[in-house]
Amino acid sequence: MFVPAKKVKSYARLAIMGPAGSGKTYTALAIMSHMAEKIAVIDTEHGSSAKYANIFNFDMAELKEFDPRNYIDAIKAAQEAGYDGLIIDSLSHAWMGKGGALEMVENIGQQMKGGSFAAWSKVTPIQNELMDTILAAPMHVVATLRSKMEYTMDDSNGRKEVVKLGMKPVQRDGVEYEFDVVLDMDFTNTATVTKSRCPALTGRKFVRPGEEIAVVLKEWLDGEDPEKVKLMGLLLTLAKEKGIPIEQAWLEKASKEEIIARGKELRAMK
């Protein structure tokens, strides 16, 4: 019944969340460009990804109505067209956008006995199908999520106070758990890894990231030794800090000792 679990080659499932202008679209493209050869972007933001068309190479489909089934159709179309990288920018609209899940619940609820409770029983399976389609797609997927500050009322010391809970992605609660890695971007275009199944990325921060995350993700997805992937990730960040092109620092098929030695070399460089 049981066999030893083994990490097999698989596809990236990355979410990038952040407020407006934090770098979701750019970072998605910068990472994906080093993971996939043929990139499709599902753009729900009035074609805003096109402003990076001179920097990155990708095809774009614009969605104007955000029924999750429109996303599902677009993902399947990308699959059939043979793309190996898909960027969904943004997945938030499938939840809170024109025709998205929340609007569907409102519209259906008005027509049905049982109101929104009954409406959710119609919309939840559609939302689930969208997440299943994303997770099953035979290509790397990066989804962006808008985030906003969540507040709560606290009256534990006698008077009511508004307390900040932190930034939350605009999507169904718990959407983070569907992805292997979640990057939380801020106004300085710095990504904090807030959730990671890839140990080499856990807890790390990256300033204006791109290739260094892509390389780490690829090695991890290929089932490389996690300790080695971690060392490689640190080496690439060091190279970036030193202004050394990543392909110069990059050591394919190197042993841990070789990576450590190369790290010492880089650190000694001015």
27 binds, among ligand ATP, Mg ion, none (CB under 5 to 8 A by kind): ligand ATP
Q: Which is nearer to ligand ATP, 61 or 251 (CB)?
A: 61
Question: In whole angstroms, what is the distance from residue 70 CA to residue 74 CA?
Answer: 6
Q: Which of 11, 33, 39, 45 binds ligand ATP (CB under 6 A)?
A: 45
Q: Which is nearer to Mg ion, 13 or 24 (CB)?
A: 24
Q: Which is nearer to ligand ATP, 213 or 221 (CB)?
A: 213
* CB proximity list for 75: less than 8 A, separation 6 or greater: 42, 86, 88, 133, 134, 137
Shortest distance in whole angstroms from residue 260 CB to ligand ATP: 27
Looking at 81-136, list the stretches that DSSP marks H as alpha helix, in order from N- to C-terminal side.
101-111, 115-136
Q: Does 18 help bind ligand ATP (rule: CB under 6 A)?
A: yes
Q: Does 20 help bind ligand ATP (rule: CB under 6 A)?
A: yes
Question: In whole angstroms, what is the distance from residue 41 CA to residue 62 CA?
Answer: 8
Q: Which is nearer to Mg ion, 24 or 204 (CB)?
A: 24
SS3 (DSSP) at 3: coil
State the residue for tokens 């407020």. 19
Contact 240, 212 (CB under 8 A): yes
Q: Does 199 help bind ligand ATP (rule: CB under 6 A)?
A: no
Cα distances from 183 to residues 180, 196, 228, in angstroms, run: 10, 9, 22
Structure-block tokens of residue 207: 């300033």
Q: Which of 12, 13, 23, 25 binds Mg ion (CB under 5 A)?
A: 25
Q: Does 190 help bind ligand ATP (rule: CB under 6 A)?
A: no
Q: Which of 34, 38, 48, 192 binds ligand ATP (CB under 6 A)?
A: 48
SS3 (DSSP) at 164: strand
20 binds, among ligand ATP, Mg ion, none (CB under 5 to 8 A by kind): ligand ATP
Question: In whole angstroms, what is the distance from residue 257 CA to residue 241 CA?
Answer: 21
Contact 37, 56 (CB under 8 A): no
210 binds, among ligand ATP, Mg ion, none (CB under 5 to 8 A by kind): ligand ATP
Q: Which is nearer to Mg ion, 52 or 250 (CB)?
A: 52
Residues found in the chain: 270
Contact 235, 262 (CB under 8 A): yes
Per-residue binding letters, 91-130, with ligand ATP (x by CB under 6 A): ----------------------------------------
Size of the site for Mg ion (CB under 5 A): 2
What are the residues binding ligand ATP (CB under 6 A)? 18, 20-27, 30, 45, 48, 189, 208-210
